[in-house]
């Protein structure tokens, strides 16, 4: 998650975020009083506009959105990731530039911003990533946990796709010589490795393995490189049933 997460408050208020961005922003929102106040103010402004009452947007929010639009740059081509033992790390919707266009346009409309040039979306929209497919799946189910210090982790699973995605926010670094390892648990309680989490506090990770019949997902602290089986008790266990 980048510093411009605050600029998504306007798009969130008008439901213009994709599912992945919404999950990440809601995790951020839980620990950001300023964004909560902006979302509340913007929703009030939207209600006033719907009632035909002219209401100027909060100056700070307007400036933040305008800066985000002005600083936007074309995204580089998406390159296929090389095979690795780490669980797949997925950036927040890099393959869908048109979503950013909708976000900017929706926020500008609600805020009454005029004269803003919105660039045209590319004609060819790449196929959604695995993470996006899971998050947008009709049968997607989510479970979340909070940690000391404000960190949060959410697992979203789609039984029909047989995949699960982990979204973390403010996750502290693992101890020296250790990593966070992901697991899928079967009906007997047996844990199967689902990959090692990449370093960094804010991650979107596709768990390795078939999550269709899994009963839970877990995170444990393991030696660098990971383990065949958990060597410590899980720091988080996300039950699917």
> Which of 7-21, 33-47, 61-75 has the lowest average pLDDT?
61-75
Give per-residue burial for 179-211: e unless 16+ CB within 10 Å, then b.
Answer: bbbbbbbeeeeebebbbbbeeeebbbbbbbbeb
pLDDT of residue 13: 79
CB neighbours of residue 229 within 10 Å? 11
Tell whether the model's pLDDT for residue 120 goes beyond 50. Answer: no
Residue 35's pLDDT band (cuts 50, 70, 90)? confident
CB neighbours of residue 111 within 10 Å? 23
Tell whether the model's pLDDT for residue 97 goes beyond 80. Answer: no
Indicate the pTM of the whole model. 0.56
Residue 115's pLDDT band (cuts 50, 70, 90)? very low
Hey, which bits of the chain come out as E strands? 88-89, 141-146, 152-158, 163-169, 178-185, 191-196, 203-206, 216-223, 236-239
Beta-strand relationship, 203-206 and 141-146: unpaired
Q: Higher-confidence residue: 44 or 217?
A: 217
What does each C-alpha distance from 195 to 49, 133, 192, 205 come to in angstroms?
A: 48, 19, 9, 9
pLDDT of residue 101: 43
Q: Higher-confidence residue: 174 or 149?
A: 174
The pair of three-digit structure tokens given for residue 116, joined into one six-digit string: 């803003």
pLDDT of residue 167: 92
Q: Provide the mean pLDDT of the chain.
A: 75
> So where are the chain's domains?
3-76+94-123, 131-239
- Strand, helix or coil for residue 151: coil
- Which residues are CB-neighbours of 150 under 8 A, at least 6 positions away? 30, 31, 170
Tell whether the model's pLDDT for residue 217 goes beyond 80. Answer: yes
CA proximity to 169, closest of 15, 16, 8, 26: 26
Tell whether the model's pLDDT for residue 82 goes beyond 50. Answer: no
What does each C-alpha distance from 71 to 35, 55, 64, 68, 113 come to in angstroms?
A: 20, 26, 11, 5, 16
pLDDT of residue 98: 40
Cα 9 from Cα 22, distance rounded (Å): 10
pLDDT of residue 38: 82
* 33 CB-contact burial (10 Å; exposed 0-12 / middle 13-18 / buried 19+): exposed
Helix (H) or strand (E) holding 64: helix 59-70
Q: Higher-confidence residue: 212 or 104?
A: 212
């Amino acid at each position: 998650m980048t510093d411009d997460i605050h600029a998504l408050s306007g798009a969130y208020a008008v439901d213009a975020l994709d599912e992945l961005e919404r999950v990440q922003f809601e995790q951020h929102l839980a620990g950001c009083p300023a964004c909560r106040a902006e979302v509340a103010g913007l929703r009030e402004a939207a209600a006033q506009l719907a009632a035909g009452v002219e209401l100027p947007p909060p100056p700070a929010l307007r400036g933040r959105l305008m800066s985000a639009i002005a600083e936007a740059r074309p995204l580089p081509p998406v390159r296929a990731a090389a095979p690795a033992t780490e669980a797949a790390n997925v950036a927040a919707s890099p393959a869908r530039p048109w979503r950013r266009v909708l976000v900017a346009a929706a926020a500008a409309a609600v805020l009454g911003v005029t004269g803003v040039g919105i660039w045209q979306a590319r004609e060819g929209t790449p196929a959604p990533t695995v993470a996006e497919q899971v998050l947008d799946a009709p049968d997607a189910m989510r479970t979340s946990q909070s940690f000391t210090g404000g960190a949060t982790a959410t697992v979203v699973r789609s039984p029909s796709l047989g995949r699960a995605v982990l979204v973390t926010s403010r996750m502290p670094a693992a101890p020296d010589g250790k990593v966070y390892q992901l697991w899928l648990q079967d009906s007997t309680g047996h844990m199967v490795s689902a990959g090692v989490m990449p370093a960094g506090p804010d991650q979107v990770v596709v768990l390795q393995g078939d999550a269709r019949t899994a009963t839970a997902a877990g995170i444990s602290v393991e030696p660098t490189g990971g383990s065949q089986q958990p060597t410590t008790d899980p720091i988080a266990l996300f039950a699917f049933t």
